[in-house]
Amino acid sequence: MKSLKKQRRIQVILLAIVALVLATGLIGYAMRDGINFFRAPSQIIAEPPEPTEVFRIGGLVEDGTLVRGQGETVRFSVTDGGGSVPVVYTGVLPDLFAENQGMIGTGSYVNGVFEATEILAKHDETYMPKEVMDALKEQGVYQEPGES
């Protein structure tokens, strides 16, 4: 009788372990496309990602590079002071999007051009995403608000 109880406990424990491993695997599989890594323009130039990889790029919209094409297609360059990456985006830009302003874009790097699927702009005069601020500080370009 004791042997049967012990055997049943071992079976239940093994079944729980298998269920836990399966659940962890399914969660990891479901999240594989939901994680977007941030890269600065100088990092993209140094180590270009695969064309199938979706990631975020951030920096300042380079002065004099904003060109509006036919329809909703827009071309511009993003810089962090150490490098500049051309960006193409089809869609409506945020109202606060402008040259020399911070931005983050989601998309992929194909044939030397970042093809954005989403563009985010800063929401007030002092806000800048932490990743963009850190990348600009590394390049020595970032100035605290209020400094001239």
Helix%, strand%, coil% for the chain, nearest 5: 30, 30, 40
Write the CA distances from 56 to 14, 125, 138, integer angstroms: 41, 22, 18
Find tokens 């424990």 and name the residue: 13
Q: Is 29 annotated as a binding residue?
A: no
Q: Residue 89: enclosing H or E segment and its boundaries?
A: strand 84-90
Asked if 105 and 87 count as a contact pair (C-beta separation under 8 A), the reply is yes
Residues 6+ apart with CB under 8 A from 7: none
Q: How far apart are CA 113 and CA 111, in angstroms?
A: 6
Please say whether the dihedral angle defined by the alpha carbons of residues 97, 99, 103 and 104, taken in this order, is positive or negative: positive
Q: Is 123 annotated as a binding residue?
A: yes
Residues making up the annotated binding site are: 123, 127
Residues making up the annotated binding site for heme are: 123, 127
